[in-house]
Amino acid sequence: MKVKMRIQAVAMDPVTNSPVMILQEEGGERGLPIWIGILEATAIASKLENIEFPRPMTHDLMKNILDRLQVRVPRVEICDLRDNTYYALITLDLGGKEIQIDARPSDAVALALRTGAEIYVYEEVLAKSQALAEEAQKKAEEATAATSETNREKLKDLLERLDPQAFKYKM
């Protein structure tokens, strides 16, 4: 099953200092963050902000070529998540015959914004993404707990070795 999404934002992840594209479920609560390259982030953000360049950028060029060839882009789909890498398909309509082209999600979304194509994410991709996020959260909590326990042990050891005379003060 596919879930219809829209681009909610492109932002900078403060932890990794990398751009992240955030897709939001239309009429729903679920979101999908995908970390992308700076050039792709610029291509998406410039279209979201209606920034025009004097010469066509790569995704604008792709759209111009498709328009000249009378090829429509009805949809793009984020179809898989393997080894922390998202995969997408761009569907091209060649006079009633559809073909799908493998693409990076950022390129697919940048093209979708320019062509008016619908954006979909497969349900299993959302589930895998959620599972990865939960696993990362769990690992972070375990690392924090382990660090806290280590710190507690160090503090206990330090307190046990302190000379009580060191805490006395004279009036």
Question: Quick one: tokens of 68?
Answer: 């000249």
> Rounded to two decimals, what is the model's pTM?
0.78
Q: Is residue 10 part of a domain?
A: yes
Q: Give the CA distances from residue 159 to residues 99, 144, 150, 166, in Å, rounded to whole numbers and listed in that order.
A: 70, 22, 14, 11
In a domain, 155, yes or no: no
The answer to whether 7 and 47 have CB atoms below 8 angstroms apart is no
Q: Tell me the sheet residues that pair with 22.
A: 9, 33
Number of domain units in the chain: 1
Per-residue pLDDT at 15: 84
> Could you tell me if residue 25 is inside a domain?
yes
Residue type, 46: S
Question: How buried is residue 36: exposed, middle or buried, by Cβ count under 10 Å (0-12/13-18/19+)?
Answer: buried
Does residue 150 lie in a domain region?
Answer: no
Residue 33 is predicted with a pLDDT of 93
Q: Whole domain around residue 46: which residue ranges?
A: 2-124
Residue 105: both structure tokens together: 């999600």
Report yes or no on 160 lying in a domain.
Answer: no
CATH of the domain at 7: 3.10.690.10
Q: Is residue 48 part of a domain?
A: yes
DSSP secondary structure letters along the chain: -EEEEEEEEEEEETTTTEEEEEEEETTSS-EEEEE--HHHHHHHHHHHTT---SS--HHHHHHHHHHHTT-EEEEEEEEEEETTEEEEEEEEEETTEEEEEEE-HHHHHHHHHHHT-EEEEEHHHHHHHHHHHHHHHHHHHHHHHHHHHHHHHHHHHHHHHS-GGGG----
Mean pLDDT in consecutive groups of 10 residues from the start of the chain, 171 residues: 95 90 93 93 94 93 97 98 95 97 97 98 93 68 65 70 60 48
**Residue 14 neighbours by CB under 8 Å, 6+ apart:** none
Q: Is residue 66 part of a domain?
A: yes
